[in-house]
Amino acid sequence: MPFEDRHAADYRALNLAWIEQHWTPEAEDYAVLDHPRTAVIDRGGYIVMAERHQQVVGTCSLLRKNDGTWELAKMAVAEAARGGGVGLLLGRAIMDEARRRGAREIYLESNTVLEPAINLYEKLGFTRVPCQPSVYSRCNIQMTCPL
């Protein structure tokens, strides 16, 4: 389901959980997580939320980058819901939304320590590309997928 303001606390908590498990959140994390409506939606992006039994169990963002390129960002699945296909559904929903918006390519940044996420991205059709400078110090892998 599309993000609503009532989801803001869940969006923040789900993402901080995976970030804080491995790293210290960075300024760019807080800029997005503390203000999802202004940082994502009001800038032409999209956030999808996954609910199970009326409880939020996942989220993923789509950020507009430039002429035809969009970024899949801030994908998170609650620990209790992992392994149940929620991440795949979120990824597909974001990619479908990117297509509806005319995207030619979708891009993401991650870290190889997140092996299950990397495997999911590859299952969605993403391939590794040489890393460019990132706003995130934890970024050590970048991937793209033509749409």
Domain count, the chain: 1
**pLDDT score for 66:** 81
Residue 12 lies in a domain: yes
pLDDT tens per residue across span 75-90:
999 999 999 999 999 9
pLDDT tens per residue across span 1-48:
999 999 999 999 999 999 999 999 999 999 999 999 999 999 999 999
Query: Rounded distance, CA 78 to CA 66, Å?
Result: 31
pLDDT tens per residue across span 121-144:
999 999 999 999 999 999 999 999
**pLDDT score for 133:** 96
Query: Rounded distance, CA 48 to CA 139, Å?
Result: 23
Phi, psi of 48 (to 5 degrees): -110, 145
**Model pTM?**
0.96
Residue 53 lies in a domain: yes
Give me the half-sphere count of Cα atoms (radius 13 Å) on the Cβ side of residue 15.
24
Residue 66 lies in a domain: yes
CATH of the domain at 46: 3.40.630.30
- In this model, does residue 67 exceed pLDDT 90? no
* Residue 89 C-alpha from the chain's centroid: 12
Residue 30 lies in a domain: yes
Range of 91's domain?
Answer: 5-103
